[in-house]
Structure 1
Amino acid sequence: MRRVTLAVLARLWVPALVLVLWQLWVIAFNVPDIVMPGPIAVLEDLAANPGLYLDLAWSTVRVAAIGLVLGMVFGLGLAVAGWSSPFFSGLVSPGAMMLRTIPITAMIPIIARLFGYSSNTVIAVAVLISIFPAFVFASAGLRTVPGGANDYFEVMRAGKMARLRRLALPAAIPNLMTAFRISAGLCILGALIAEWLIGADGLGHQLALARIEFRVEEQWGVALVAAVLSVAAFLGATALERRAIERWT
């Protein structure tokens, strides 16, 4: 038990120190709660309304996860199409680069006009966030097959589909999981921003309501939950990436 406690403290001492310093700063300078509540007040609000925060977190995670999976699938599909046809690759790559340069916050109102002011828009935002890394990393992975394996398939006169299924796709899986790791946490934050702007159910919408009604502890509680979800998504995706690298490299 002691060893487990020490291992947990070794991993969490930095956020624990931040919370302690935050509380001490609020007390020392007598900061009003309406400006910045202490972490104790925020944690008390979380403990007093666990059902509310769990429902909001599930709503945000659900749409972010759907958008993340769809974006990874679409990005991989575009990468495979580009690998199969240099002409198609030349058409898609400039458009993907141009789309990436536009801030997602500027695109949300346009997306909302197309998909409605609902969770569909939040899913579309998560798709746009994840599709570009999936396309770029999968495209690189499909083209970095081992030289000896490529020569073997040449000698065996393997067809395009056989090369894709048995050579290119397995080589692209580690890269694809890297894109998954990059996008996992960003999709949570993107969903939060979309919910804030269009009023869809979730943590972002609750954050907007709490701001309007001056429920400061709730604002910080929502922000804390969103941060924990983003970190958890990143760590979970990192673990999956590590397993994929061990399995496919």
Structure 2
Amino acid sequence: MADIAQSQASANDRKSGSAWLAKSGDRLLPLLTAVGMLVLWQLIIWIFSIRPFIMPGPIAVLGAFIEDGPKLWLNFWLTFLEAALGFVFGNLIAILMAVAFVHNRTSERAFFPIAVFINTIPIIAVAPILVLIFGNGYSPKIIIAALICFFPTLVNMVRGLKAVNPATLDLMRVLSASDAEIFWKVRLQSSLPFLFAALKIAATTCVVGAIVAEWIGSNYGLGALILLASYNYHAPLLYASVFSASLLAVFLFAMVSFAERRMIKWKTPAVH
């Protein structure tokens, strides 16, 4: 019996070691790929003697991060504030509207086509209108970031709230559950995978919305810094600003993914 227990323990240890190696490989592979692409990029710059004002290499971009670090950091946080507030407000309004649509079909028939129409208007066309109305402050940037988050979350949340097993609904009604109990215990739980799928999209697009708004009318933020570096042919700063915007989007995406792992403990089928 002792030998059997020892062999089982050894097998479990080997499985744990294999799982750890697999997870480490999954984490290292994207990092190694990114490093390889950076090395290749720098080699292309050296081999073809490309001038820095046309395309700087990673070393020159790193120099811009060091030299213009305070400027990049300040504008990074300003864009982060706009994108984060737009993300919160846009998704919150979308969730509340989705709940209203599910519980009141008349409101869905009345307002959903309007939401579709608003979504068809290009953000680049909406931005100047909002800048004219609200000025060059934070308001138009936050509104544009919210608009670009709104529609995907609305569609996915409505679909998630409706994606309830009819047998489960029948069981809840047999148990005399109220509409509020059905919502909190059944509909909301079924909607979480759909919601987080939309939030992951919104986490990246809200940054795009904030930067587009800064292009239209702003003297601060990563969008304004991108335009300034472009006009001055300061390519290293331009690339550093673009990478900063990408890092901001990745950070927001990672935060949403972390929240998803914490809130959804059960395994769900893939959302198609």
1:5 CA drift (Å): 9.2
- The residue aligned with 1:98 is 117
Aligned to 1:79: 98
Aligned to 2:49: 30
Give the Cα–Cα distance (whole angstroms) in 2 for the partners of residues 171 and 125 of structure 1: 29
Quote the offset at 1:218 in angstroms.
0.7
1:22-42: CA deviation from partner (whole Å, max 9, x where unpaired): 111111111111111111011
Residue 160 of structure 1: CA displacement?
A: 2.6
Do structure 1's residue 240 and structure 2's residue 259 form an aligned pair?
yes
What is the match of residue 197 of structure 1?
216
Q: Tell me the distance in 1 between the aligned counterparts of 2:63 and 2:36.
A: 19
Unaligned 5+ segments in structure 2 are 1-20
- Aligned AA for 1:67? G
The answer to whether structure 1 residue 67 and structure 2 residue 86 are counterparts is: yes
Match of 1:117 in 2: 136
The alignment status of 1:88 with 2:107, answered yes or no, reads yes
Which residue identity does 2:35 align to in structure 1?
A
Alpha-carbon displacement from aligned partner over 1:110-151 (angstroms, at most 9, x marks no partner): 122232222111110111011111111110111112333211
The alpha-carbon distance between structure 1 residues 143 and 52, as it changes in their structure 2 partners (threshold 3 A), is: same
- For 2:54 and 2:87, locate their aligned partners in 1 and report how far apart those are by CA, in whole Å: 35
Higher Rg of the two aligned structures? 2
Task: Give runs of aligned pairs for residues 133-148 of structure 1, distance below 5 A.
Answer: 133-148=152-167
Q: Which amino acid counterpart does residue 48 of structure 1 have in structure 2?
A: E
CA distance in structure 2 between the partners assigned to 1:233 and 1:94 by the alignment: 30
The corresponding residue for 1:150 is 169
Q: After superposition, where does 1:160-175 map in structure 2 within 5 Å?
A: 160-175=179-194
The alpha-carbon distance between structure 1 residues 248 and 156, as it changes in their structure 2 partners (threshold 3 A), is: farther
Using the size of structure 2 for normalisation, the TM-score is 0.83
The 3 A distance-change label for structure 1 pair 51 and 7 is farther
- Superimposed CA distance per residue, residues 69-117 of structure 1 (whole angstroms, 9 cap, x where no aligned partner): 1111100111011111111001121112222222211111112223222
- Would the alpha carbon gap of residues 202 and 247 (structure 1) be closer, same or farther in structure 2, given more than 3 Å must change? farther
Any conservation in 2 of the 1:196–1:204 contact (CA below 8 Å)? yes
* Cα 1:6/1:47, change in 2 over 3 Å: farther
Q: Give the superposed CA RMSD.
A: 2.2
Whether contact under 8 Å (2:144, 2:213) holds in the other structure is yes
Q: TM-score, normalised by structure 1?
A: 0.90
Quote how far apart the aligned CAs of 1:9 are.
4.1
In the aligned structure 2, how far is the partner of 1:133 from the partner of 1:23? 38
What is the number of residues matched between the two proteins? 247
Aligned: 1:225 with 2:225? no
Instruction: Give me the whole-angstrom Cα distance separating, in 2, the residues matched to 1:131 and 1:188.
Output: 13
Is the CA contact (8 Å cut-off) linking 1:130 and 1:187 kept in structure 2? yes
1: CA distance, partners of 2:137 / 2:242: 21
